[in-house]
Amino acid sequence: MAKAIADAEYVKEIEKARRDLRTLISSRNCAPLMLRLAWHDAGTYDVKTRTGGPNGSIRNARELNHAANKGLETAVLFCEDVKAKHPKVSYADLYQLAGVVAVEITGGPTIDFVPGRKDSLESPAEGRLPDAKQGESKDLLKLPTDKALVEDPMFRKYVELYAKDEDAFFKDYATSHKKLSELGFSLKNHRSILAKGVIGFGIALTAVILGYLHELNKRTN
């Protein structure tokens, strides 16, 4: 399990990288792509084996070529511009920070970000994430979780709540996003996130926020 690598100087570099990510994502208009990169690097965590998770391994060609990661090579390439300016920042932190910034600059909630993730070159086996081709049609990509949001009573109640109460959505999403970004990651004074069910709930909330970003984009363009 990853241990903290953050100190005062590292935290300063994180804040500089945050500013550069803000500029990059705004100029490239790639917030949804960066959010997906962060989720796919973190979402491979397996609670039983304690492998995968937000460790930067998605940059490896083997993992990047997984069917679920189709299209993410662009996000990885964009992040290289920021990495070149801040080489001390780990890829693991950079990708998760990119997801946090992507949410914030599109009008989403502020997400608490704790740096210190270590990089890994060990990629998990394929199959831990939804396939990007699932539910694909000519004009739209629909995942099974999209259907579950409106058909599963457990999730539908949240959809209805969030449609009426943006503050509730922001609060719950920020909490869930933070948990996803810290799967298998430990710090002094921070407990590891190992609870079962976090991934499934996180997938659903990720689908919700992508829909939110889409609606926000329609309202502002």
Residue among 102, 58, 62 nearest 76 (CA): 58
Q: Count other C-beta atoms under 10 Å from residue 124's C-beta.
A: 21
Residue among 59, 96, 73, 79 nearest 178 (CA): 96
Distance between CA atoms of 109 and 118, rounded to whole angstroms? 26
Contact call for residues 35 and 207 (beta carbons, < 8 A):
no
Residue 139, phi then psi, degrees to nearest 5: -110, -10
Which of 40, 66, 86, 177 is catalytic? The answer is 40
Distance between CA atoms of 58 and 72, rounded to whole angstroms? 9
Residue among 91, 77, 85, 2 nearest 38 (CA): 91
What is the SS3 assignment for 193? strand
Instruction: Write the CB contacts of 73 (distance below 8 Å, at least 6 apart in sequence).
Output: 64
Distance between CA atoms of 119 and 53, rounded to whole angstroms? 10
Distance between CA atoms of 95 and 102, rounded to whole angstroms? 11
177 catalytic, yes or no?
A: no
Q: Which residues are catalytic?
A: 40
